[in-house]
Structure 1
Amino acid sequence: MTTIKASCPCCGDVELTPKQVRLVVCSAKDRSYYAFDCAKCGDEVRKPAGEDVVALLVSGGVKVERWIIPAEAMEEKLGGTIAWDDVLDFALVLDSCDDLAGLAARGLSSSR
């Protein structure tokens, strides 16, 4: 059986089986990681996984989970952040509106 050596920040070196390691390969390569629960302290340890680490873990029998980040999540956001008051105002509008499509159409036409 394959033994994978990793390190826990609290306990130091630990030995793991491929089933004890979670490998998540992301569509944005800098977001890929591997994780494991330390057998000594019980903490989840999560570390970045570059292409070389991914190749090594896959060759050791670790199954790959694919994670695709939607393109819109990676877009640059402009403008201010939404505050709790904005969310509450939106909820109140939704609660008082019977015709959401009509409300949206009025909002779009008034902003032009």
Structure 2
Amino acid sequence: MTTIKASCPTCGDVELTPPQVRLVVCTVPAWSFYAFDCPECTDEVRKHATEDVVRLLTTGGVPAERWSVPAEALEEHAGPAIGWDDVLDFSLSLETTDVVAAALAAVQRHHAA
């Protein structure tokens, strides 16, 4: 079986097998990563996966998990950030929507009878 050499920030160089490595390849290359649990300290180590690293790991037998970033996550957002008052106003708005819907249902029942 293939041996993969990686580096743990605490323990230094470690040897892994393909099943011990998780490779996530994203449609946004800067978000691709590989991760493993260090066999020495058991900490999860996560590092950026460049195209070269992806090629080396897949050639070594590590399956790549493909991940597509939803377009909404890449949209530019303008304007002020949503604050707690905005969330509270929205919550209160939802409560009044239920009241309006109940009143409308009562009117519809009255006209149907």
TM range (shorter): 0.7 to 0.9
Query: After superposition, what is the alpha-carbon deviation per residue over 1:74-93, rounded to whole angstroms, capped at 9, x for unaligned?
Result: 11111111112211221111
Matched residues in 2 for 1:43 and 1:88: separation?
Answer: 40
Identity of aligned residues (%): 67
Moved more, 90-99 or 68-77: 90-99
Instruction: Report the Cα offset of residue 40 of structure 1.
Output: 1.3
Instruction: Report the Cα offset of residue 3 of structure 1.
Output: 0.6
Structure 1 outlier segments of 4+, above 3 Å: none
Instruction: Give 2:53's aligned amino acid.
Output: V
Query: After superposition, what is the alpha-carbon deviation per residue over 1:16-62, rounded to whole angstroms, capped at 9, x for unaligned?
Result: 11001000000011111100111111211110011110000000000
Root-mean-square deviation (Å): 1.3
TM-score normalised by length of structure 1: 0.84
**Residue in 2 aligned with 1:28?**
28
Taking the TM superposition and a 5 Å limit, the aligned residue runs for 1:56-71 are 56-71=56-71
**Residue in 2 aligned with 1:48?**
48
**Residue in 1 aligned with 2:105?**
none
- Give the paired residue count: 100
Instruction: Give 1:58's aligned amino acid.
Output: T
Bigger radius of gyration, 1 or 2? 2
**Structure 2: 5+ residue runs without aligned partners?**
102-113
**Residue in 2 aligned with 1:17?**
17
**Residue in 2 aligned with 1:89?**
89
